Structure 1
Amino acid sequence: MRVIIQRVKESKVFVDGVQISDINAGLLIYLGISHDDTEEDLHYMVKKIINLRIFPNEDGKMDKSILSQSNLELLVISQFTLFGSCKKGNRPSFASAALPEKAKLLYESFIQECKKNILSVKTGVFGADMKIHSINDGPVTFYMDSKEKI
C-alpha cells in the first residue's frame, strides 16, 4: 500500500464538473493499493498517517498530529497509478496494482478505519476520473509504502 500525504489548507474533488467533496485544513491522501496488500498493511498505514506529527505547534515546529486537532479534516482519493512502473518502455505498467474489486474493498476499509479516529473524513469516487484542486500548506508532502516498514 502506498500513500502520498499532503498537508493542505483546503482541497476539493470534482467528478464530471460537479464538486462532490471538499475539506478545509487537513490532509489530502492519495491511496494506492497493490495486488498483495492486506488488512495488516491498511492498519499500519492508517495508524502511521493519523499519528504523523506534521502540523505546527505553537512555536511553528512540526509536532502535532491530525489526531491532536479536532478542526482538521481528511480527504482520501483512490490512486492506482501509485503502482505504475515506468522501468520498461514509455508506457507505464500497472501490473502491481490491485484489481478493482480488491482495491475497492481495501479502499472502503481504509476509509472506515480512518473514520474511527478522525471526525471529518471525506472521499473521492473510487474508479472515477476526478479533478482534484488543493492548496498545499508548506508545502508538506510525504510518500509512504507499507512494504518499507522496519
Structure 2
Amino acid sequence: MKTVIQRVKSASVTVDGQLISSIAKGILVFAAVGKDDTLKEAESMAGKVLKLKLWEDDQGGKWKKNVQEINGEVLCVSQFTLLASTKKGNKPDFHKSAPAIKGKELYDHFFARIRSQYREDRVKDGVFQAMMDVKLINDGPVTIEIETNPPEMKNPTEFTPFDGNLEDSGTFNHSGPMHKTFDMPASLLE
C-alpha cells in the first residue's frame, strides 16, 4: 500500500458539484492499494498515517506532534494512480494496482482502522472510484510518501566496476574490483 500525506490548513472533496467531505487543519491522505496488499498492509498503513509527526511542539521543536496530538482532522481519498508506472513509454501503466473489488475492500478496511484508532468525527472520506475534485491549502508545503513494502535500496557505498564492455541488454559487464594507480611526480612531493 502506498500513501501520499499532505499537511493541510484545509481540504475538501467534491463529486459532481456536491461537497462530500471537508476538513480544517490536519492531513489529506491519498491512498492506493497494490495488487499484492493484504489486511496486514492496510492496518500497518493506518497506524503509520496516524503516528506520522508533522507538527511542532509547544516549545517550537520540529516534527514532534502527530495529527492526533494536535486534535487535527484526516481526509482520506482513494487514488490508485499513485501506483502508476511510466517505466515503458509515456502512458501510465496501472498493473501494480489492486483490482477494484479488492482495492475497495482493503481501502475501506484502511479507512475504518484510521477511524477506530482516532475519532470517527475527525476522519472523513472521499468516494471510491469517483471522479473527485480535491481542493486543499497545503501547510508548508509538507508532503510525505509512505509505502508499506518499499523497494529495496541498494547499498549506496557499494561500487560496481565497469570493464568497458556493454552487453546487448544495455547492462554493464563486470568481473571484479577495479584498481587504478595514480603516479605523482616526486617534485610535487617535496
Q: How would you bin the TM-score normalised by the shorter chain?
A: over 0.9
User: Which of 125, 129, 132 is residue 130 of structure 1 equivalent to?
Assistant: 132
Structure 1 unmatched runs, 5+:
none
Structure 2 letter corresponding to 1:142: I
Say if 2:31 is the partner of 1:31.
Answer: yes
Per the TM alignment, residue 95 of structure 1 is displaced from its structure 2 partner at its CA by 0.7
Q: Could you say which residue in structure 2 is the equivalent of 1:80?
A: 80
Pairwise CA RMSD: 1.4
Structure 2 letter corresponding to 1:143: E
2: CA distance, partners of 1:21 / 1:149: 33
TM-score, normalising length: structure 1:
0.95
Structure 2 unmatched runs, 5+:
153-190
SS at match of 2:124: strand
Per the TM alignment, residue 83 of structure 1 is displaced from its structure 2 partner at its CA by 0.9
2: CA distance, partners of 1:135 / 1:75: 13
Greater C-alpha radius of gyration? 2
Structure 1 letter corresponding to 2:132: M
Cα 1:149/1:42, change in 2 over 3 Å:
farther
1: CA distance, partners of 2:129 / 2:101: 10
Q: Choose between structure 1 and 2: higher strand proportion.
A: 1
1: CA distance, partners of 2:107 / 2:43: 12
Structure 2 letter corresponding to 1:135: I
Tell which has more relative contact order, 1 or 2 (C-alpha 8 A, sep 6+): 1
| Structure 1 stretches of 4+ moved >6 Å | none
Cα 1:110/1:10, change in 2 over 3 Å:
same
| Aligned pairs for 1:43-54 within 5 A | 43-54=43-54
